[in-house]
Structures are given as structure tokens and as C-alpha cells.
Amino acid sequence: MLEQYEQALDEWIATKVAQGDDDQLFASGYLQGHFAVVLSQLEVEDEQGCEALADRMQLCLATAKTELAPNDFVLVQDAWDELSEKINALVAA
């Protein structure tokens, strides 16, 4: 399961690098760091499903909200929403 998440992230990041604007590059880079931390946490957990991933990412986004300017947080939240949809579609396939 974690490999699917990582594959979705890698594909999504590649798209952002190739086609994204500066805001998308910032948000994807910021999100990538938090995503890597969450994946490492999930490696040692029994529950590794999409719900566990989403729960952990929401905790990271709560931290991001305190670290980032409001406009930057919106970019990161939108990036997570987009990546989350990609992950859910990949897992459902």
C-alpha cells in the first residue's frame, strides 16, 4: 500500500515539476516533505490504508497552518486535495 502512495506522489511531483508554476512547485515541495514523514510513520503502523494516510496528513496540515502564511497554506491544502484524489483513484483501480 505504501508503495502505491509513493508511486502516486512521484508521478504527481513529476507533473508539477514539468508543468507547474512557481506556486505549485512550492506547494508540492512542501507537501513532499510532510508526505515522506507520514509514510515513514505508517511503515511501523498496522493500519496503512487511505484513511490512516489522510488522518496523518491532516495532522501535518494543521502544523503547516501555523508555519505558513495564509496564502501559502491554501496552496499546500489545494495540493494535498489534488494528491489525495490521485492516491484514492490509484488505490481504487
Nearest in space to 2 (alpha carbons), one of 55, 27, 38, 56: 38
How many domains is the chain partitioned into structurally?
Answer: 1
pLDDT of residue 89: 87
What is the domain range of residue 49? 2-92
pLDDT of residue 45: 84
**Predicted confidence (pLDDT) at residue 47 exceeds the cutoff of 80:** yes
pLDDT of residue 81: 95
Average pLDDT over residues 24-52: 90
Confidence of residue 46 (pLDDT cuts 50, 70, 90): confident
- Return all residues near 37 (Cβ < 8 A) that are at least 6 apart: 60
**Predicted confidence (pLDDT) at residue 1 exceeds the cutoff of 80:** no
pTM (two decimals)? 0.88
Q: What are 73's three cell numbers?
A: 497554506
**Predicted confidence (pLDDT) at residue 65 exceeds the cutoff of 90:** yes
**48, containing H or E segment:** none
